[in-house]
Amino acid sequence: MITRYHAIYYARVLAQRAIGDNIDSLSQSLLNAAVDINPHQIEAALFAFRSPLSKGIILADEVGLGKTIEAGLVLCQYWAIGKRKIIVVCPAALRKQWSFELTEKFGIDNEILDSKNYNEYVRIGRNPFDNKKVVICSYNFVARKKDEIRLFGFDLAIIDEAHKLRNVYKKNSVTAHAVREALENVKKLLLTATPFQNSLMELYGLTSIIDENIFGDAKSFRANYVYEENYSELQMRLAPYYKRTLRKNVVEYINYTKRLPLTQKFDSTDLEFELYTKVSEFLRSDNLYSIPVKQKMLTTMMVRKILASSTYALLGTLATIKARLEKMLEENKYQQFDLNEIFDEDEIELLNENEEDSIDSDVNSPTEDEIIDTKQIQKEIAAIQSFINLAEQIKHDSKAKALLIALQKAFEQIELIGANRKALIFTESKRTQAYLKEFLEQNGYRGKIVIFNGSNSDKQSNEILEAWLKANAYTGKISGIRAADRRAAIVDYFKDKAEIMIATEAAAEGLNLQFCSLVVNYDLPWNPQRIEQRIGRCHRYGQKSDVVVVNFVNQRNYADLRVFELLNDKFKLFSDVFGTSDEILGQIDGVDFEKRIWLIYQECRTEAEISAAFEKLQAELESKINTRLKDVKEQVLKTFDVEVQERLKLAKEHTCAFINRYEYIFWELTKFILGDKAVFNDSNHSFILKERIGESPKGKYCLITSKETEGIPYRLSHPLAQYVLKQASAIKVTGGKIIFSPLETELNVTLPEDLKGKSGYLLLSSLDVLAFDTEQYSLFTAYTDDGQPLSQELCEKLFLCAGREVKPTGLTPVQQRKLKESAEQHRKGKLQQIDSRNLLYFKEEEERIFQWEKDMINSLEKELDTIKRQIREQERLIRNAVTIEEKIAATKKLDQLESIKRRKRNELADREDEIASKRRKLLAELDSRMIRKIHHEDLFAIEWQIV
């Protein structure tokens, strides 16, 4: 039980803002995150808040350590304190995953912004970025809209897979340059497991994305750290911007399971082989009306994938292409190509992602006015009809029969390891999905299957949704967003009832299916990142069992064999604990790699040609990883603390205590403010709201840390929680008295023995300081009646104790004066602490600016030194000249060099002035931010007694 005075203090604690790398900087975020947070993730998130002057950091944890959660904690804290202009930049394929993570784990509204909805916002006169949501978009989108993004002025940018920008220092990196320019003045979090691969210059590129003034120019960086190898100095200068945790440091509290590969080999029939060969040869043809010229690569790539997926899917695609050609012939004019007519929405989604990450083709398609070649079209129609005739003779695919064998083997294997009898089957085609569902139902799995795709508009999915809505009418799980509820309903059905989920890849992004330990790649993407994402639906943090990964290999298709070998042996996707190594996956551009594979299929016919092409591709991959560079990484990117494990252990204990305290404050404040409007269950931290309050409906609510799963997630950012804070902050009180009862408190609060039975008086005042950023404090000043002062920490503990209000006797004028004078001293002491800390921030930035100036001037001086060496060499040649011609030539060259030297000296003087001017400007900006604005207020003064 708490009092009005507790409520005022609690509301202040829950809303106040902090600066620096102490855990108070994440207080709101920790009450909003519905995820188990590990110590290294807290440490990484706090690193982002280390200095308010920093323009950003690189979070470079090894794969599998939850960089998304680290960034999410930072993002969530920004959101909680009202800095809500936030953008997430990532590869197109990861946009949906980011959207789901932010919604499910942090409860933050977000929107994927692409050209289509951007243009729609513009059409109706709205700023597409100003939608009160986190904006998620691809690299190419940011590059295209760089001016608009720069003008909008985001508070925070999360850049995922940031290694894609590491070549920004090169002139031809157009997209990277545009992204840097768009986000120049924004605080940035760069996420990558591989900050550099081929050269230290890539590390220079990444740091320049954060701030172009961390190091000098590319020439000076190359001279100082690539040629001269000053690795210890480089590491020291990187320390404020770079955070990396290794898996070996966290094994004590994160249990990673293994991947167990199961390869099911099969032989295609003669009919299947004939169909594959003929369609492949057709796709290699030039100038086909069947394939749009401008989108040839994307279309042929998709048709090849469908060809490998299932005959049933291929039939649908061929029939649609044939119908389009027949219409063209009938109307005697070229029909503009619409990919939506040929491929289903899930296949289109994959095509769009390839298009998002690639440069548009400059090839022009025919126009409707152009005369068509009717003989060519008739020839193509005949060819496609022959393919259809062949396909219709194939009743069941060999691979589908192999699936039955693989499922039996895999189920036996996961039963042996004690995992749930559940399988997640992936396909890239919705048509293949439908075929597999029917095939499996005919072979012993009827009533055990659920499908998951982009629409889920089939009868079974609708029935599942309606049953789920009915069952969860009063649980708080219903979001009201039809697509999100349908998704949740199907996942719950898979978890509780079905044995098999057949999912299309585009739909399943962002799903967390740790309860399933069997992943089946019915068709295999060529993009290694996509495979990693598939397996990652099940093999992720929280998975309790080893995960079996099933793949199919057609032994009659040599190209398929080589693709599988590359993915399995080089990328190690299907085995080991962590799957793909940082060294490989981080280096490969998935879309580019996919195009390389497509090119092999398109251009190579014989086994010898295929083998040579794959050998060349593999050699290129291997050349990107060399031992020498690994040694450099060890020296430059090693962790900065040799006692990491011990530090993380202490951090875990501290974090748990902190979260427990904040959760207790949040819970008790909610109980106090809602009072009779709700019925509370302290044992599982849930409550029933009896009436609607503002946007918050009546019903069951649960703290996000509660083990109770049936209810509306109650977090600090929820409208009901914001109502609670607002009501508590509005409470007005005059002098009072509290009887504190430590023994009646749910938390384990330990007070000094000599305080028991004592009484005294206390003042709580607020202090808000705005300098480099806003920070807020709640300052206690307290004494016992016999004049002993109580520390800030002791007062904070006191207000964690239960209490009740009683009639006060009133503070004497002496007590009031003593509190006021002591509070003033407390405030001055806190301001001195703040000034001292801010001075450290200032000095750190000042040192960075001086280092930048030194880099730039040294670079210019080295150019001049080079010229001087050349002059000395020419003078030597003049002295040693044997012929008059040699002497004249050397003298002429010397004159040119002397001219260059004079010009360089002048340039050096001008550039020194320019650099010094920029340095003065940067320091002046820092200086102006040092001037602080202060607001303080006495919140209440009370008498107290401890029983």
| Within a domain: 258 | no
Q: What is the pLDDT of residue 349?
A: 60
Residue 264 lies in a domain: no
Residue 190 to residue 837: CA distance in whole angstroms: 26
**Whether residue 556 sits in one domain with residue 438:** yes
Instruction: Report the alpha-carbon angle 84-90-91, nearest 5.
Output: 155
**What sign has the CA pseudo-torsion 563, 566, 569, 572?**
negative
- CA neighbours closer than 13 Å in the CB half-sphere of residue 2: 27
**Which range is least confidently modeled, 479-483, 748-752, 886-890?**
479-483
Average pLDDT over residues 448-455: 91
Contacts of 886 (CB under 8 A, 6+ apart): 877
- CA dist 656 and 36 (Å) reads 11
pLDDT confidence tier of residue 591, bands split at 50, 70 and 90:
low
Percent of the chain with pLDDT over 70: 89
- Note whether 860 and 775 are same-domain residues: yes
Tokens 């022959």 label which residue?
A: 386
- Are 213 and 849 in contact by the 8 Å Cβ rule? The answer is yes
CA distance 488 to 483: 9
Model confidence at 187: pLDDT above 70: yes
DSSP category for residue 212: T
Helix pair angle (430-440, 311-331), 10° resolution: 140
CB-based burial label for 203 (10 Å; 0-12, 13-18, 19+): buried
pLDDT reported for residue 584: 56
Q: Which residue has the tokens 């057949």?
A: 502
CA-based torsion, 426, 428, 430, 436: positive or negative = negative
Q: Which of 334, 364, 392 is the last residue of a domain?
A: 392
Q: How confident is the prediction for the chain on average, in pLDDT? A: 86
Highest mean pLDDT (candidates 167-181, 585-599, 896-910, 917-931): 167-181
For 458, the domain range is 396-636
pLDDT surpasses 80 at 621? no
Give dist(CA 852, CA 920) in Å, integer. Answer: 12
What is the domain-level CATH number for residue 523? Answer: 3.40.50.300
> Looking at the 3D structure of the chain, how many domains does it have?
5
Can you give the pLDDT at residue 588? 57
Q: Which of 105, 103, 108 is nearest to 133 (CA)?
A: 108
Least confident of 210-214, 467-471, 482-486, 824-828: 482-486
Average pLDDT of span 777-788: 94
Its pTM stands at 0.72
Q: Residues 246, 381: one domain?
A: no
543 and 428 in a single domain? The answer is yes
Instruction: Express each pLDDT in 88-97 by its tens digit.
Output: 999 876 788 7
571 vs 694: CA distance, rounded Å: 53
Domain end, chosen from 337, 362, 392, is at: 392
- Residue linked to tokens 């309860």: 515
Q: What is the pLDDT of residues 916-946, one digit of tens each?
A: 887 788 778 777 777 778 999 999 999 999 9
Sheet containing strand 933-946, edge to edge, reads 789-790, 774-784, 759-770, 933-946, 736-741, 802-806
Phi, psi for residue 575 in degrees, rounded to 5: -140, -175
First to last CA, the chain: 15
Query: CA 549 to CA 552: how far, in whole Å?
Result: 10
Task: Flag whether 499 is in a domain.
Answer: yes
| Sign of the alpha-carbon dihedral angle for 210, 211, 214, 217 | positive
Are residue 365 and residue 309 in the same domain, yes or no? Answer: yes
Helix, strand, or coil (residue 56): strand
421 and 388 inside one domain: no
Q: Give strand ranges (E) for 247-335.
A: 259-266
Three-state SS for 343-392 is CCHHHHHHHHHHHHCCCCCCCCCCCCCCCCCHHHHHHHHHHHHHHHHHHH
Higher-pLDDT residue of 65 and 198 is: 65
Residue with more model confidence, 237 or 473: 237
CB 447 within 8 A of CB 524: no
Query: What's the confidence (pLDDT) of residue 385?
Result: 97
What is the three-state SS of 127-144? Answer: CCCCCCCEEEEEHHHHHH
CA 645 to chain centre: 25
pLDDT at 39 over 50: yes
Confidence band, pLDDT 50/70/90 cuts, at residue 505: confident
Res. 132: pLDDT tops 80: yes
The continuous run of DSSP H or E covering 761 comes out as: strand 759-770
d(CA 604, CA 559): 9
Residue 523 lies in a domain: yes
Structure tokens at 324: 């389009």
Do 468 and 610 belong to one domain? yes
Q: Which of 636, 667, 684 is the last residue of a domain?
A: 636
> Minimum mean pLDDT among 638-642, 677-681, 862-866, 867-871: which range?
638-642
Percent of the chain with pLDDT over 90: 44
Bridge pairing between strands 187-191 and 500-504 = unpaired
Cα separation of 814 and 828, whole Å? 21
Which of helix, strand or coil describes residue 87? strand
Eight-class DSSP state of 509:
T
Lowest mean pLDDT among 507-511, 718-722, 826-830, 910-914: 507-511
Question: Under 8 Å CB-to-CB from 913, ≥6 apart: which residues?
Answer: none
Same domain, 418 and 461: yes
Cα separation, 156 vs 76, whole angstroms: 11
Residue 789 in any domain: the answer is: yes
User: Are 499 and 448 a contacting pair, CB within 8 Å?
Assistant: yes
Please state, in angstroms and rounded to a whole number, the distance separating the CA atoms of residues 539 and 545: 9
Give the tens place of pLDDT for each residue, 208-248.
Answer: 999 988 998 888 898 888 888 788 888 889 889 999 887 77
Tokens encoding 896: 């040119």
User: Which residues are registered as beta bridge partners of 803?
Assistant: 740
Beta strands in 15-60 (DSSP E): 56-59
Nearest to residue 841, comparing CAs of 296, 53, 143? 53
- Which pLDDT score is estimated for 3? 95
The whole-angstrom separation of Cα 26 and Cα 10 is 16
Q: Does 286 reside within a domain?
A: yes
Q: What is the rounded CA–CA span in Å between residue 701 and residue 706?
A: 10
pLDDT at residue 779 greater than cutoff 90:
yes
Of 380, 400, 470, 387, which Cα lies nearest the Cα of 441?
400
Say if residue 629's pLDDT is above 70. no
**Range with the poorest average pLDDT among 30-34, 264-268, 813-817, 932-936:** 30-34
Tokens of 762: 């206390």
Both tokens assigned to 647? 């530090």
Q: Are residues 94 and 120 in the same domain?
A: yes
For residues 691-707, give the mean pLDDT.
88
CB 458 within 8 A of CB 451: yes
pLDDT at residue 86 in the model: 97
Q: Is 360 left (phi over 0), alpha (psi -120 to 50) or beta?
A: beta
Nearest to 338 by CA among 346, 348, 329: 348
H/E run at residue 614: helix 607-623
Q: Which amino acid is at 202?
A: E
Angle at 194 between CA 655 and CA 175, to 5 degrees: 115
pLDDT for 352 beyond 60 = no
Do 293 and 415 share a domain, yes or no?
no
Residue 899's Cβ-count burial label (10 Å; 0-12, 13-18, 19+) is exposed
Query: What integer pLDDT is reported at residue 642 of this predicted model?
Result: 44
CB 51 within 8 A of CB 71: no
Give the pLDDT confidence score for residue 590 in this predicted structure.
52
Residue pair 767/781 in contact (Cβ under 8 Å)? The answer is: no
211 lies in some domain: yes
Average pLDDT over residues 780-784: 96
DSSP state of 591: H
Residues 415 and 536 in one domain: yes
At 811, the pLDDT band (50, 70, 90 cuts) reads: very high
Most confident segment among 19-23, 583-587, 729-733, 861-865:
729-733
Residue 534 in this model has a pLDDT that exceeds 90? no
d(CA 791, CA 687): 35
261 belongs to a structural domain: no
CATH number of the domain encompassing residue 213: 3.40.50.10810
* Cα–Cα–Cα angle for 407, 275, 322, rounded to 5 degrees: 110
**More confident site: 317 or 197:** 317
802-806 vs 736-741, strand pairing mode: antiparallel
The kind and range of the H/E element at 891 are helix 884-930
Here the contacts of 780-788 (C-beta below 8 Å, separation 24 or greater) are: 780/826, 781/819, 781/822, 781/823, 781/826, 782/944, 783/815, 783/818, 783/819, 783/822, 784/755, 784/758, 784/759, 784/760, 785/758, 785/759, 785/760, 785/761, 788/760
Rg (CA), the chain: 33
Residue-wise pLDDT tens digits, 354-379: 554 443 333 445 555 567 899 999 99
d(CA 623, CA 646): 38
Residues 674 and 814 in one domain: no
